[in-house]
Amino acid sequence: MRKIVLAGNPNVGKSLLFSRITRTGAATANYAGTTVALDVGRFIFRDEDYELVDGPGIYSLEGFSEADASALRIIGEVDPAAGGVIVDVIDATNLERNLGLTLQLISTGKPMIVCLNFWDETKHRGVAIDVPALERLLGLPVIPTSALDGSGVAELVAALSAARPSPLKLEPAALETEYRWRLIGEIVGEAQRLEHRHHRFLERLSDFTLHPVGGPLSAAIVLVSTLLFVRFLGEGLVNEVLEPLYSRVYAPFVAGFARRLPWEFLSSLLVGRGTDPLGSFGVLTSGIYIALVLVLPYFFSFYLVFGFLEDFGYLPRLAVVLDKMFHRLGLHGYSSIPVMLGLGCKVPALMSTRMLGSERERTLTIALILMSAPCLPQTSMIISLGMNYGVNTVLAVFASLLAIAFLTNLAINAMMRGESSEFFTELPAYRVPKAGLFARKLGRRIAEYFAEVLPMIAVGILVLNVLDALGVIAFITEAIKGPVKALLGLPPEIAPIMILGFLRKDVSIALLAPLGLSSGQFVVASVFLALYTPCVAAFFTLARESGIASMLKVVLLVLAAAILGSSALHGIFAIFGA
């Protein structure tokens, strides 16, 4: 099997090409650093078996972050004797800058082909590249492609058999930056013509979103309209479509089905007890109700907007605007991208911290990811239940979380000395997302959510039933009754909820419904359940990303912040009588 490695600068569309060639779904978005891990896929072309590896983008053969290191490793592993090939992916609208890495790759002496990606965009951006001239100058096959619509991809795969080491003999001096850029200047001068063209609408928009006044203004507009959109679409889907479907069609059907179940244990696992969809606690009743009726609509609405912003290229510009605020926390603006991903799910957010440079930055960012806001399923449940108390209660939950996260980060920042590195990122051109690609990405996210949510709820209910039968729950409830009452002002029934909350965070909030909490108690309980521990999936991701020791440190820190923060909230509510 021949091993093919995609190498190139960040955000040149490597992952998109990977998806096109292997027909799998690698995560793609319009910002530098979307890919932090290796994607490996296989394909067969003309009876030959290929392995395709897609790694993080790099600017040079020198690595600074963990993501850089994994990209350099796969390039180093390309073995010419075993038919290995480097596919150097270049953003055709940015030829000059991309050739820096190309010359370095050529100097490795490995067989290569060059892929001029985003070819369809060159025309309206006033870039004309003479492909035969470039082939001659580099001594390598050069294939124009457009991974966004898939054109040229077949030709690229066919050209793999023509891969060869470039005959360009680069003296060691050629790798000295100044000489290298002079050489690139000569190549570009011969193979590329730039036309002067007027600024297009998207370029004006880009300038506006970076302007000292326009930037914060557009960030505020984007934020508010995202919240409003997610709320109204999510709420509309719940109230107008899914809730009626559940109560009129699905619930009667399941109730009839349950009556025919012979085995009581099975029926309590599947449909639970009683008819309240939140209180009954069966996989087919509460499980479906939480996952499908209460969470899915918000999940869908959030990723609809977020996916658009990602593919459009807004996130790095928002990072520029937020840079100043993140500096107060000892970070720079690029950390805002993992934090924003964490509004959806903590797992990809934690993984994306690999694009950050230092250990310190990663720890600070991880604390922010885990603390600044709950994941989307939990957020949906807080909104669904909290709105029964009124919008102020919901706002109080999120404001408290933000305050606790800021204070904790300030504390970590003071403890972990050292300067944070500086903001440094390329700003990709705005691109209007392609509908098909966009829909597939949304579909994949929803599928991943379902792959986890229903099995986890089933496991959770099983675990709770077993612990209940063994008397463990009664024991824990008795043990934490005093401290929970004194510190948080919550009833002892919170004990089983804490256990389930480790498995599914959204379900833990749902379990608060039958407790009849006051609005103040609901805020304290939501804040506590959002913080006290990451869910099991995030827990293992954290262990893998930062090692057991440092994972335990972060988890203990977050737990301490949860106890302190929610006790303080309880105190505030007790004093002001909420």
Partner 1 sequence: MLGKGREVEEECVGDSLDLTSLRDGESGRVVGLRGGREALEKLQAMGIGIGAVVAKKSSAARRGPIVIEKGRTQVALGYGIAKGILVEPIG
Collapsing DSSP to helix, strand or coil, 23 comes out as: coil
Residue nearer to partner 1 on the CB measure, 355 or 507 = 355
Write out the DSSP string of 27-48.
Answer: ---SSTT---S-EEEEEEETTE
The closest alpha carbon to 312, from 528, 31, 60, belongs to: 31
Residues at the interface with partner 1 (CB under 8 A):
59-60, 62, 64, 93-94, 96-97, 100-101, 125, 127, 177-178, 181, 184, 194, 206-207, 210-213, 215-216, 316, 319-321, 323-324, 332-333, 357-358, 419, 421-427
Q: Rounded to 5 degrees, what angle do the CA atoms 362, 364, 370 make?
A: 95
Residue nearer to partner 1 on the CB measure, 210 or 237 = 210
Residue nearer to partner 1 on the CB measure, 93 or 378 = 93
Residue nearer to partner 1 on the CB measure, 140 or 320 = 320
Question: Which H or E run includes 184?
Answer: helix 177-191
Q: Report the alpha-carbon distance of residue 194 to residue 268 in Å, rounded.
A: 70
Q: Is the dihedral of CA 416, 419, 425, 430 positive or negative?
A: positive
Q: How far is the CB of 244 from partner 1 (least distance, A)?
A: 48
In this structure, the number of other CB atoms found within 10 A of the CB of residue 162 comes to 12
Q: Are 364 and 412 in contact (CB under 8 A)?
A: yes
Task: Return all residues near 327 (Cβ < 8 A) that are at least 6 apart.
Answer: 420
Residue nearer to partner 1 on the CB measure, 73 or 324 = 324
Q: Report the alpha-carbon distance of residue 354 to residue 351 in Å, rounded.
A: 6
Q: How far is the CB of 117 from partner 1 (least distance, A)?
A: 14
The closest alpha carbon to 537, from 443, 434, 448, belongs to: 448
Sheet (strand 142-144) strand order: 39-45, 48-54, 2-8, 85-91, 112-117, 142-144
Q: Report the alpha-carbon distance of residue 289 to residue 302 in Å, rounded.
A: 19
Q: How far is the CB of 371 from partner 1 (least distance, A)?
A: 25
Q: How far is the CB of 84 from partner 1 (least distance, A)?
A: 24
Q: How far is the CB of 341 from partner 1 (least distance, A)?
A: 19
Residue nearer to partner 1 on the CB measure, 44 or 213 = 213
Q: How far is the CB of 135 from partner 1 (least distance, A)?
A: 21
Residue nearer to partner 1 on the CB measure, 96 or 149 = 96
Q: How far is the CB of 383 from partner 1 (least distance, A)?
A: 33
Task: Return all residues near 84 (Cβ < 8 A) that are at least 6 apart.
Answer: 2, 3, 4, 5, 77, 78, 110, 111
Q: How far is the CB of 332 from partner 1 (least distance, A)?
A: 6
Residue nearer to partner 1 on the CB measure, 427 or 476 = 427
Residue nearer to partner 1 on the CB measure, 47 or 178 = 178
Q: How far is the CB of 421 from partner 1 (least distance, A)?
A: 3
Residue nearer to partner 1 on the CB measure, 94 or 533 = 94
Rounded to 10 degrees, the C-alpha dihedral 536/541/542/543 comes to 90
Tell me, rounded to whole angstroms, the distance of Cα 66 from its chain centroid: 17
Q: How far is the CB of 94 from partner 1 (least distance, A)?
A: 5
